[in-house]
Amino acid sequence: MIALARHGETDYNAVRRFQGHLAVSLNERGREQAQELARLAAQHEWAALICSPLARARETADIVGAAIGHHPEEDARFAETDRGDWTDLSFDDVAAAEPELFAAYQRADPAFTFPGGESFAHQQLRVMEGIDAAHQGPRPVLIVTHRGSIRLALAVLHGDESHRSAEVPNGSLVELP
């Protein structure tokens, strides 16, 4: 089994701001979500714990790892999309300045590329490469990652594009088919 978990909340999540690859830590609520995720994860036996190297995912994985007895192994393939020029901007500001592009982002249009950043297509390729590699290693494995990475993986693995915009709350755990 492979399961994906979304990191706990950050202040950027709370105010709807693009964090991309910024080193944004969990807020108090996010640390509570990570503790709850750790309690949930501790109900299972895990052979490995992998995480995105971004601060919010690593912090979540460290909390989970302490509960399940594993040190997280970082894998950049599970990082959030590089948000390019939108990094550190609010959703509202981007929606006002670039409404058509923002609408494509919200639809999770497979052809969408963040201005100055990464495309969803590229992110999907690297996430699926990471999942394929995880299938080759010890299992069950828990991967702490980001909403975008989880959505793209679910779309591919379920063969259903509606997963590209699925709700994936902070601190949630999703088992892959």
CATH code of 22's domain = 3.40.50.1240
Q: Beta strand pairing status for 2-6 and 173-175? A: antiparallel
pLDDT band at 177 (very low <50, low <70, confident <90, very high): confident
> Total structural domains in the chain?
1
The rounded Cα 156 to chain-centroid distance in angstroms is 15
Residue 45 annotated among the catalytic residues of the structure: no
Are 64 and 43 in contact by the 8 Å Cβ rule? The answer is: no
Length of the chain: 177
Q: What is the pLDDT of residue 130?
A: 98
What range defines the domain where residue 59 resides? 2-175
Q: How many CB atoms are closer than 10 A to CB 9?
A: 22
Which residue has 């409404």 as its token pair? 99
Q: Percentage of the chain with pLDDT > 70?
A: 100
Candidates 156, 17, 165, 153; CA nearest to 105 is 165
Average the pLDDT over 64-88 and give the result. 98
Per-residue pLDDT tens for 134-175?
Answer: 999 999 999 999 999 999 999 999 999 999 989 999 999 999
Average the pLDDT over 103-123 and give the result. 95
Please provide the average confidence, as pLDDT, over all residues in the chain.
Answer: 97
Given 7, 21, 70, 146, the catalytic residue? 7
DSSP type of residue 115: T
Given 9, 59, 70, 80, the catalytic residue? 80
Tell me the whole-structure pTM to 2 decimals. Answer: 0.96
Residue 7 annotated among the catalytic residues of the structure: yes
Residues 11 and 19: their CA atoms lie apart, in Å, by: 10
